[in-house]
Amino acid sequence: MENTGEAQNSKFKQIWLQIVKYKVAFFNTIYGKVLTILSQVFVGGLFIFSGFIKLNDPVGFSFKLTDYFAEDVLNLEFLSPYALWMAVFLVILEVILGVMILLSLFKKPVLWSLLGLIVFFTFLTFYSAYFKKVTDCGCFGDFWKLTPWESFWKDIILLVAILILFMGIKNIKPILPQKVNIGIAVVSLLACIFFGRHVLNHLPVFDFRAYKIGTNIMEGMTYPPNAKKDVVKYTWTFDVNGEDVEVTTLSANYPEVEGGTYKSVTSKVIEEGYEPPIHDFSIESLDDGDVTEMMMEEEKLIMVIVYNLDKADEAGFFKVKSFTDKAIDAGYKVIGLSAADPDALKDLSAIMEFNFDFYLADETALKTTVRSNPGVMKVEKGTITGKAHYNDFDTIKL
């Protein structure tokens, strides 16, 4: 038995040595060198692009991390309070690692860091896709929406490219002197920090969301005449002579089952149809119900967005008070939009002496409208003509 085991180990060792030999031989050829350089540019460029897109909107990426931390997903809710700073750290790390691999700077530690990140992201995207927990990973923010499975396969391709870099590491050679490369990396890091600080204290420089300036909200919610609808599969369960019998239909119409007593029905979307860019925005009044269309007819409307009262910046409310008083004097109708408890909003209005009423809206939609809590959105006949962080209310022209 020992001789058999030793023989198998020797055979595996010979196979492994042959693989290493062919790998070394291949990466010493022009094809191996070209493959390494292409992988280097691909990995570095994609990490810089992906990181910068998210750095433009770190608040949005923090919302996505919070989704992953939720109890019904990864059950890591204790990390939620730190989601924003984790988001900023991760996106800056993405950019800097991308820059460093392009510069061939500190190859081994950079490659191991890239491998760690991509393994982490691959796990998240697979978890999202397989368990259908988070429908959008946020890999490219709102610039480019990917399905969970598309995100997963993108990460697999990146993982393969990084493994190629490990195998062809001798071909990763710097073009510029070491000091110049370090200088570029340091400048890139400082630029990321200053850019991140700017967007956190104001708004994203580039707005890729459905509520960007110039968008008409009502038009953004409309369906084209020939829009494709969801294909839904309905599974009906009936009791027939004491046994459960399932009937599957593609219609919500109640099926007839001879001698059967209805027990339950479940539905599942098997093919998604058209979804308008704006699909979850509404303005609800406790007294009058849905008043969205009525508000979108206003010629001069200011909407104060407070998506979550507990997470709002208290100092921002003093700026809201000053700005909204000016807006009312200028002839604007001012309303507040929040997903918070109506009684808590009344208490806030009383304390701050706000001269406008709050209406209810979906929290997710409000998070998308403006990345500030509180923030302001200026609307004319349903068209967004201005948005501002509470630090920039003076940029809204009344």
The string of pLDDT tens digits covering residues 279-327 is 888 999 888 888 999 999 999 999 999 999 989 999 999 999 999 999 9
DSSP annotation of 188 reads: H
Q: How many structural domains comprise the chain?
A: 3
Kindly report the CATH number assigned to the domain that includes residue 318: 3.40.30.10
Within-domain flag for 219? no
Instruction: Report CA 61 to chain centroid distance, whole Å.
Output: 5
Helix-helix angle 148-167:107-131, to 10 degrees: 160
Shared domain check, 315 and 260: no
Report, as ranges of residue numbers, the positions in the chain whose pLDDT lies below 50. 1
- Can you tell me the distance from the alpha carbon of 228 to that of 273, in angstroms, rounded to the nearest whole number? 5
Shared domain check, 390 and 343: yes
Residue-range definition of the domain harbouring residue 390: 284-395
Beta-carbon count within 10 A of 374 CB: 24
Q: Which residue has the tokens 């409208």?
A: 369
Within-domain flag for 226? no
Within-domain flag for 220? no
Shared domain check, 130 and 192: yes
- Can you tell me the distance from the alpha carbon of 235 to that of 252, in angstroms, rounded to the nearest whole number? 10
- Can you tell me the distance from the alpha carbon of 186 to that of 180, in angstroms, rounded to the nearest whole number? 10
**Cβ atoms of 153 and 118 closer than 8 Å:** no
Shared domain check, 254 and 317: no
Shared domain check, 319 and 250: no
Shared domain check, 237 and 155: no
Shared domain check, 101 and 71: yes
Within-domain flag for 181? yes
Instruction: Report CA 387 to chain centroid distance, whole Å.
Output: 21
**Cβ atoms of 378 and 387 closer than 8 Å:** yes
User: How much is the pLDDT for 9?
Assistant: 63
**Cβ atoms of 208 and 143 closer than 8 Å:** yes
Helix-helix angle 30-55:2-27, to 10 degrees: 80
Q: Which residue has the tokens 């304390």?
A: 351
Within-domain flag for 376? yes
331-343 residue pLDDT tens: 999 999 998 888 9
| Cβ within 8 Å of residue 108, ≥6 positions away | 169
Shared domain check, 29 and 172: yes
Strand order in the sheet with 333-338: 289-290, 284-285, 357-360, 333-338, 301-306, 375-380, 383-389
**Cβ atoms of 354 and 324 closer than 8 Å:** yes
- Can you tell me the distance from the alpha carbon of 320 to that of 328, in angstroms, rounded to the nearest whole number? 12
Shared domain check, 115 and 15: yes
Within-domain flag for 105? yes
Shared domain check, 157 and 48: yes
Question: Which helix (H) or strand (E) segment is 237 a member of?
Answer: strand 231-240
- Can you tell me the distance from the alpha carbon of 291 to that of 128, in angstroms, rounded to the nearest whole number? 36
Within-domain flag for 213? no
Shared domain check, 192 and 310: no
User: How much is the pLDDT for 249?
Assistant: 85
Domain boundary residue among 184, 201, 218?
Answer: 201
Shared domain check, 124 and 26: yes
User: How much is the pLDDT for 138?
Assistant: 67
**Strand-strand pairing, 375-380 and 383-389:** antiparallel
Judged by DSSP in three states, 312 sits in coil
Within-domain flag for 172? yes
Domain boundary residue among 209, 242, 271?
Answer: 271
What are the residues facing 246 on neighbouring strands? 237
